[in-house]
Amino acid sequence: MDFAHGSDSLSVGARVPLGDLCHATTVWVVRRYDKFQTQFVQDITGLYNPTDADFARNRLKPYRATRVVGNLITNAGWTRLMNLLTNQGGTQALTASAVRIGVGTGTTAEAYTDNDLSGASKFFQPVTGAGSLGTRQLTFTASFGGSDANFAWNEFGLDVGTPTVTAGSTVNALLFNHKANVAQGSKASGQTWTATATLSFT
């Protein structure tokens, strides 16, 4: 007696080219000026919060500069981007008059559902300008003066409010992105630290 057995199989797969993927990330740069540099520029310019440009004009370089790569765009942040993309009315864009850079002491890992920085101490400073999207980049910079954010800088984030925003310790309506565990050290009273966030879209 003879026996025979046969079988057929069919599989279907799909490949998505890497070029079809969209990436967004942020490079955070912190420049630090000591209290003597700060006082010198304040005396010359009369400014409470001198910027990097003010220090550069007086030939003063930061005593330390660091660079942190990466961030997480929150669910609310992505929703805002999509609303702007589809021209939803009443949606505030990320303009220089509406965005603040926030720093805090939190070390809790960032999550898509975040709506605030996690630290017990936090401070949000209005930005001094926004860059162009012509090169797929958007840049924001904020200057933290002698009595601003004098604590350990362990997290960053951008928030968006309704123009014109002011400095403070309470997050505005939207936390756009969040980066935790950055360990930038502690800012001391009298020092000026500047934070620059460059968002890149590829």
**What sections of 46-165 are H helices per DSSP?**
52-57, 75-85
pLDDT in tens, 29-57: 999 999 999 999 999 999 989 999 999 99
Q: Which residue has the tokens 């003063």?
A: 60
| pLDDT of 17 over the 50 cut | no
| pLDDT value at residue 163 | 87
Closest CA to 123 of 92, 80, 154, 78: 154
For the chain, which residues make up each domain, given as ranges?
24-201
State the pLDDT confidence band at 176, using cuts at 50, 70 and 90. Answer: very high
Alpha-carbon Rg for the chain in angstroms: 22
Residue 186 is classified by DSSP as B
| Mean pLDDT, residues 147-154 | 97
Instruction: Please tell me which residue, 129 or 107, carries the higher pLDDT value.
Output: 107
Length of the chain, in residues: 202
Q: Are 38 and 60 in contact (CB under 8 A)?
A: no
Measured between alpha carbons, how far is 170 from 160 in angstroms, rounded to an integer? 12
Instruction: Please tell me which residue, 44 or 163, carries the higher pLDDT value.
Output: 44
Q: Are 202 and 22 in contact (CB under 8 A)?
A: yes
| pLDDT of 11 over the 80 cut | no
Count the Cβ atoms, other than its own, within 10 Å of residue 23: 7
Q: Are 195 and 127 in contact (CB under 8 A)?
A: no
| pLDDT of 1 over the 60 cut | no
Q: Which residue has the tokens 């303009």?
A: 95
Question: Which residues contact residue 133 at a Cβ distance below 8 angstroms, ignoring those fewer than 6 apart?
Answer: none
Count the Cβ atoms, other than its own, within 10 Å of residue 161: 19
The residue type at 10? L
